[in-house]
Chains A and B, each alone.
Chain A
Amino acid sequence: MRLTKTGNEAMAEAMRQINPDVVAAYPITPATEIVQIFASFVADGLVDTEFIAVESEHSAMSACIGACAAGARTMTSTASQGLALMWEMLYIASGLRLPIVLAEVNRSLSSPINIHCDHSDTMGARDAGWIQIFCENAQEAYDSLIQAVRIAEESLLPIMVTTDGFIISHGMETMELIEDKEVKTFIGEYEPKYTVLDIDNPITMGAIDFTDYYFEHKRQTIEAMRNSKEIIAKVNQKFGAKFGRHYGFFEEYKLEDADIAIVVLGSTAGTSKVVIDELRQKGIKAGLLKLRVFRPFPVQEIAQILSRIPCVAVMDRSDSLNASGGPVWTEIRSALYDFNTRPKMINYIYGLGGRNIGLEMLRSVFEDLKNILKTDKIDKQIQYLGMRK
C-alpha cells in the first residue's frame, strides 16, 4: 500500500500495527506527534494497547521497565531532553535485559535550548546497552521499527530506532506500508522466559550485586550486544525476503571502486547520494557508507570496506566534546587501526542544532577529499562544516 506520510506518522503507523501491550510516554518536540497519533489510535480503539500518559520521561522509561518485566510487549517514544531524562533508566532496561522498543527522534541537547536535529541525544545514550538504528527516511524508520520488535525480543536487549528531527519526522514522503496482518505475523507473539507476574515461580529482579557478581552480569549484557549482530542480520534478511526491502548494518553506495568516500548517519545519506551521483557523472569515483546500526558497532565489516578506500571523511552530527572529534569518527578510526592499508581521514562536525546541510556543503567535502587525495596532505583533521566564521 503506497501512502504519503511524515516520519512521525510512519513511526506511529508501525506502532499501530505492532499493537504493543503497553506504551508509556511523555511528549517532546519533535517526537510528540508519535505519541499523539498513537493516543488517538488508542482512543479510537484501533489498538488495544494500555497507554500510560506519565508525568515525565524518567517515569515513562520506569513504567516501560515495569511493564516489560511483567511480560508485556512495551514501547515508548522520545527525543532530546526526554532521552536525557531517561538516561539512568536506559542502563537499567538493558541491565535487566528488557526488550523495550523506543521510537527516538534525533534532536540537539540543551544548553542552549534548541528543538532541531542533531545526533547528540542518541549519541549521549550510545553506551547504555541499547541497540541503535539510525534511519535515512520514513520508509526505513517504519521498516526498522517493525524489525526492532523481533531484534529486541530475540537478543533480550532494548532498542531505539531513530529519525532525524523535523527533516524526517515532519517531512512528507511517499512510502510503502505493509498489511496489518503481515506485520502481525512477522513480529509474532512475545513469550518472555521470566516475568514478575509468574506468581508460582517468583523471581527477584534488580537485586543488588556487589563486587562478586556485578562484573559477570555486565559481561552478559556485553555478550548480548555482541550476539545481537547475528540476530539483526537474520531479522534484516527475513524482512527483506518477505517485503523486498533489504537493510544491512550499513549501506554501501557506489563504494566498490570509490577513491573518496564519506560516512554518514541518518537523513544526510539521501542528500549525499545526490552529490555522489553528480560526481560520478563527472567521472569522479565518489562513494558513501551510510551507517545504519551504530550499536552494536559493526567494527570488522566497516573496517574491511573502508580500509580499501584511499580517502574518507567521517561526518558527525554531534560532537563528543572530547576535543578530538565526533563519536562516529573515534569509533571508525579505532576500527581501522589493525589494517595495514588505512585511508587518509578527516572528520566533519556539521548540522548541530539543525543547521542545514545542503548539496553545496557536501560538494565541498568531496572537493576537500579530492585535494587530500591529490596532495596527500591534510590541513585540518577536524573541521566544522557550514559554521559561521
Chain B
Amino acid sequence: MATLKELSHKKELLSGGHRACAGCTEPIAVRQILMATDTPIVVCCPTGCLEVTTTIFPYTAWRMPWIHSAFENAAATISGVETGYKALKKRGKIDKEIKFIAIGGDGGTYDIGFQALSGAMERGHNMVYICLDNEAYMNTGIQRSSATPKGAHTTTSPAGKVIPGKKTFRKDLSACIAAHNVPYVAQSIPSMWKDLTNKVQKALAVNGPAFINVLVPCRLGWGFPPEKAIEIGREAVNSCFWPLYEVENGEWKLTYKPKEKTPVKDWLKSQVRFKHLFRPENESILQEIQTEVDHNWERLQKLCEFSAGVV
C-alpha cells in the first residue's frame, strides 16, 4: 500500500476549480479514491452534489472519462459501461485494462437508486460502487434521506414545535449490500485516508462487484465550520457512530478500533443539525441515539468475532 508521500506525487484526476462548497469532503474523498490505483478508471456519477459541482458545461473537473445519465441509475449505467467493455474486449476492439467505479450520494444510493444498485450487485458486474454518504439530499437543499440519522434537522424532517427532527434511525445500507454476498463491502471515511485508499484498492482488486460506503461530512447540511470537516469525520468514527469495517468474502472485520470510544453527544454537539437535541425536553432522544450506537457497535463486534470463527 502506498505511503502518503507517494500518493501526494500522483497526478490528481479531479482538478481544482470545481464548485463544491469550501470544506466539502466529497472532492477530498474522490481524490483519495482515484489515487488508490494506477489502472485507468471510468467513473459514473448519478445526479447530486458531486456531479453538479464538477461538470458545469463547458468545464469539467474530471481528467478521466466520466459519465452521468440520471439520478437513480448510476449502478445500472456503469454496469452497461462495464458490459460494453467486456463485449468489446471479447471482440478484440479494446485491449487496455480498465476499471469501473460509480460514485453516488446517499439519496441516489440508499433510496431512489437502491433497486438499480441491488440489481447490479446481484448480477456480478466487475465494478465498484462507492456511496458518498452525507446523510441527506444535499444537492436539492438538505432533505432527509434514509441515511439521515435520527433527530437530525433537515428541510423535510425539520425540528419543529411538536416533531424534533427525523423520527427514525438510519438505514444500514452496508449490511444490506453485505447481504447480497458480494466479494467486498466496506465502510470508510476520508478523515482516515489510508483506510479509504486501502479499501478502494481491495475493492478494485476483487473480481466482481464491490461496495464501499463512505461518510462524507457536509458543512452546509450538517452545519460546521469548513476547517472542521476532517475532524468531524474522525469524531464520527471514534464515537462508533460510523464504524470502519470490511466484509471480505463474507468475513466481517473491524479495520479500526478507537482507543477510547467517545460519547456520541460530543459529535452531535459539533453540528447545527442536532442543536435542538440539546434542549432539556429532547434529552431522551440523545439517550436513544447513544443506545442505538452502542447496540450497533456491540453487534458489529460480535459479527466480526463470529464470522472470524466460521470463515
Contact = CB atoms under 8 A, between A and B. Distances in A.
B73 interface: yes
A72 B80 CA distance: 9
A127 interface: no
A67 B98 contact: no
A199 B84 contact: no
B191 to A, nearest CB: 28
A1 interface: no
A205 B87 contact: no
Contact of B80 (A66, A207, A209): A66
B91 A21 contact: yes
Interface string B42-70: 10100000011001111010111111111
Interface in A178-228: 196-199, 202-210, 213
A37 interface: no
B145 to A, nearest CB: 19
Interface in A217-241: none
Given A56-B115, A66-B84, A92-B69, A208 B79 contact: no
Contacts of B120: 59
A89 interface: yes
Contact of A88 (B55, B70, B88): B70
B56 A198 contact: no
Contacts of B268: none
Given A55-B122, A204-B62, A197 B70 contact: no
Nearest to A19: B91
Contacts of A68: 80, 84
A69 interface: yes
A317 B83 CA distance: 37
Interface in A33-82: 48-50, 52-56, 58-59, 62-72, 74
Contacts of A210: 56-57
A208 B56 contact: yes
A96 interface: yes
A68 B81 CA distance: 8
The CB with the most chain A CB atoms within 10 A, among B56, B84, B120, is that of B84
B118 interface: yes
B85 interface: yes
Contact of A89 (B58, B64, B69, B94): B69
B68 A67 contact: no
A158 B91 CA distance: 23
A286 interface: no
A58 B77 contact: no
Nearest to A194: B65
Contacts of A67: 80-81, 83-84, 87
Given A65-B77, A197-B42, A21 B88 contact: yes
Given A24-B80, A71-B84, A202-B62, A196 B123 contact: no
Contacts of B11: none
B173 interface: no
Interface in B74-129: 75-88, 90-91, 93-94, 96, 98, 115-116, 118-120, 122-123
Given A62-B76, A63-B76, A199 B40 contact: yes
A213 B56 CA distance: 10
Given A52-B80, A52-B83, A207-B56, A66 B90 contact: no
Interface of B: 40, 42, 44, 51-52, 55-58, 60, 62-70, 72-73, 75-88, 90-91, 93-94, 96, 98, 115-116, 118-120, 122-123
Interface of A: 21-22, 24, 48-50, 52-56, 58-59, 62-72, 74, 88-89, 92, 96, 196-199, 202-210, 213
20 contacts: A21-B91, A52-B80, A52-B83, A59-B120, A62-B73, A63-B76, A63-B79, A66-B76, A67-B80, A68-B80, A69-B84, A71-B93, A96-B69, A196-B65, A197-B88, A202-B63, A204-B62, A204-B65, A205-B68, A206-B67
